[in-house]
Amino acid sequence: MHRVLAHELRPVTAPDDLWTRVAQASALPRPGALWARADAWTNLLRACATLACVALVLSAVWLRPSRQEIRSADPGEVQAWIRAKAGVDVPLRSHLPAKLRLTGARLVNGRTEIAYLVSGRVCRATRQHTPAKHAFALSCTNPDDLKVACALCHIG
Q: Where are the domains of the chain?
A: 18-63, 67-152
Q: Which of helix, strand or coil describes residue 155?
A: coil
User: pLDDT (tens digit, 9 = 90+) per residue, 18-60?
Assistant: 888 777 766 655 655 555 566 777 888 888 899 998 888 887 7
Which positions of the chain have pLDDT values less than 70? 25-38, 64-67, 128-134, 154-156
Q: Where are the alpha helices (DSSP H) in the chain?
A: 2-8, 18-27, 33-63, 75-86, 145-149
Residue 36 is predicted with a pLDDT of 57
